[in-house]
């Protein structure tokens, strides 16, 4: 089988698919600028996503993550999960969600073939949750986490974007949850992707590690709870859960990058942080075959840069996180 290998010998075997650019929250680091949303016509239909995944699987992509915007606001998401889980060569389908609607859909998502979820949660405090996301929905997220664990969408990982002066006083509480509740927590350096936050709010990964080491015990490096992404994983002594660190600004992870991103309007992005995109939707709607789509994917692999420029001459791109999928 032909594989997707880029110019720096990295094999692409993972694809993150944004199924919508709409969201039921408005997180300050993600959607600070309000922009017009895609029209219904411009968003890929489920069958089109399936065709793209089939082409990707033919080139060795094995794992798919559905994201957004908020993927669970797209109607009947479990139908897409089911469609994709039947594509030959796809081993795992996972979801990144803010979990507001997760409690409602866990059972049908699991039955459709979803394997695991990453849930975004930045605070345990209701007032702060409202400040960060613009909505009073912390209770729904916590219920979503419980529901996901109950049906065995394992391991549930919690993604926490660290924002200086806003939630950095709660990092030890998140770290403790890896011991008390077996949570797999991942701290993410906030990327300056919205104009409102540029050059602000960075708490470097090394400072978070030092603070945990000083207060809760020495973190031991460990293997990932599953997946094979940009996080480096550790465990506190005796903890069931793990603590991961993702440092796009201070601990560049590009050398191990194994992924493509597909936007809701059908653009294939070799890198989250570069505006290079290849349109797959127009060719598909003009009758492209699987082999045609595979060829476009090979072109996208050739365009993948060695690394992002977030900490150098980075300027805000034409899309924001809710438009790409994080």
Shorter beta-carbon distance to ligand SF4: residue 124 or 307: 124
Minimum gap (Å) between residue 253 Cβ and ligand SF4: 19
Q: Which of 269, 264, 254, 265 is nearest to 299 (CA)?
A: 269
Minimum gap (Å) between residue 134 Cβ and ligand SAM: 13
Chain residue whose CB lies nearest ligand SAM:
326
Q: How far apart are CA 212 and CA 198, in angstroms?
A: 27
Name which of ligand SF4, ligand SAM, none residue 190 binds, using a CB cut-off of 5 to 8 Å depending on partner kind: ligand SAM
Name which of ligand SAM, ligand SF4, none residue 11 binds, using a CB cut-off of 5 to 8 Å depending on partner kind: none
Counting contacts by CB under 6 A, is residue 99 touching ligand SF4? no
Counting contacts by CB under 6 A, is residue 322 touching ligand SAM? yes
Q: Give the residue, chosen from 5, 11, 26, 216, that forms a contact with ligand SF4 under the rule CB under 6 A.
A: 26
Q: By the 8 A CB rule, do 51 and 83 touch?
A: no
Q: How many CB atoms within 10 Å of residue 303?
A: 16
Name which of ligand SAM, ligand SF4, none residue 85 binds, using a CB cut-off of 5 to 8 Å depending on partner kind: none
φ/ψ of residue 184, rounded to 5 = -105, 100
Q: Give the residue, chosen from 20, 78, 94, 159, that forms a contact with ligand SAM under the rule CB under 6 A.
A: 159
Counting contacts by CB under 6 A, is residue 69 touching ligand SF4? yes
Based on C-alpha coordinates, what's the Rg of the chain?
19
φ/ψ of residue 189, rounded to 5 = -65, 135
Q: How far apart are CA 265 and CA 286, in angstroms?
A: 15
Q: How far apart are CA 187 and CA 171, in angstroms?
A: 8
What is the contact mask toward ligand SAM in residues 33 to 72, using x (rule: CB under 6 A)? ----------------------------------xx-x--
Counting contacts by CB under 6 A, is residue 27 touching ligand SF4? yes
Name which of ligand SF4, ligand SAM, none residue 242 binds, using a CB cut-off of 5 to 8 Å depending on partner kind: none
Q: Give the residue, chosen from 54, 190, 242, 263, that forms a contact with ligand SAM under the rule CB under 6 A.
A: 190
46-83 burial, b if ≥16 CB within 10 A, otherwise e? beebbbbbbbbbbbebebbbbbbbbbbbbeebbebbbb
Beta strands in the chain (DSSP E): 14-18, 63-67, 92-97, 116-120, 157-162, 184-189, 220-221, 232-235, 243-246, 259-262, 267-269, 278-279
Question: What is the DSSP secondary structure assignment for residue 303, as one 8-state letter?
Answer: T
Residue ranges in 69-128 that form contacts with ligand SAM under rule CB under 6 A: 70, 96-98, 120
Candidate segments 52-60, 64-72, 166-174, 304-312, binder of ligand SF4 by CB under 6 A: 64-72
For helices 77-85 and 102-112, the axis angle rounded to 10 degrees is 20
Q: How many CB atoms within 10 Å of residue 274?
A: 16
Name which of ligand SF4, ligand SAM, none residue 325 binds, using a CB cut-off of 5 to 8 Å depending on partner kind: ligand SAM
Candidate segments 23-31, 85-93, 231-239, 274-282, binder of ligand SAM by CB under 6 A: 23-31
Name which of ligand SF4, ligand SAM, none residue 31 binds, using a CB cut-off of 5 to 8 Å depending on partner kind: ligand SF4
Q: How many CB atoms within 10 Å of residue 31?
A: 20
Q: Which positions touch ligand SF4 (CB under 6 A)?
A: 23, 25-27, 30-31, 68-70, 98, 120, 321-322
């Amino acid at each position: 089988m032909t594989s997707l290998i880029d110019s720096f010998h990295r094999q692409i075997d993972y694809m993150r698919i944004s199924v919508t650019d709409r969201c039921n929250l408005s997180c300050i680091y993600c959607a600070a600028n309000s922009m017009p949303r895609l029209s219904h016509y411009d968003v890929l239909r489920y069958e089109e996503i399936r065709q793209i995944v089939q082409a990707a699987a033919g080139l060795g992509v094995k794992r798919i993550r559905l994201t957004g915007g908020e993927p669970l606001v797209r109607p009947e998401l479990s139908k897409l999960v089911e469609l994709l889980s039947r594509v030959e060569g796809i081993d795992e389908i996972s979801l990144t969600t803010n979990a507001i609607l997760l409690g409602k859909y866990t059972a049908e998502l699991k039955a459709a073939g979803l394997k695991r979820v990453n849930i975004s949660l930045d605070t345990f405090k209701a007032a702060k949750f409202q400040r960060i996301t613009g909505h009073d929905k912390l209770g729904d997220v916590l219920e979503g986490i419980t529901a996901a664990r109950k049906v065995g969408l394992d391991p549930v990982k919690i993604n926490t974007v660290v924002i200086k002066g806003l939630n950095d006083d709660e990092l030890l509480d998140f770290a403790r949850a890896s011991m008390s509740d077996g949570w797999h927590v991942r701290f993410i350096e906030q990327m300056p992707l919205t104009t409102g936050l540029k050059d602000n709010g960075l708490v470097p990964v090394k400072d978070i590690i030092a603070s945990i080491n000083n207060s809760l015990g020495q973190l031991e490096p460990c293997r990932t709870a599953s997946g094979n992404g940009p996080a480096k994983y550790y465990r506190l002594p005796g903890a069931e859960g793990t603590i991961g660190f993702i440092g796009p600004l201070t601990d560049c992870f590009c050398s191990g990058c194994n992924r493509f991103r597909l936007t809701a309007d059908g653009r294939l992005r070799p890198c989250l942080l570069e505006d290079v995109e290849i349109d797959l939707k127009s060719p598909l709607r003009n009758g492209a075959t699987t082999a045609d789509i595979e060829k476009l994917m090979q072109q996208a692999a050739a365009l993948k840069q060695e690394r992002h420029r977030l900490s150098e001459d980075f300027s805000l791109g034409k899309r924001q996180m809710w438009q790409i999928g994080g």
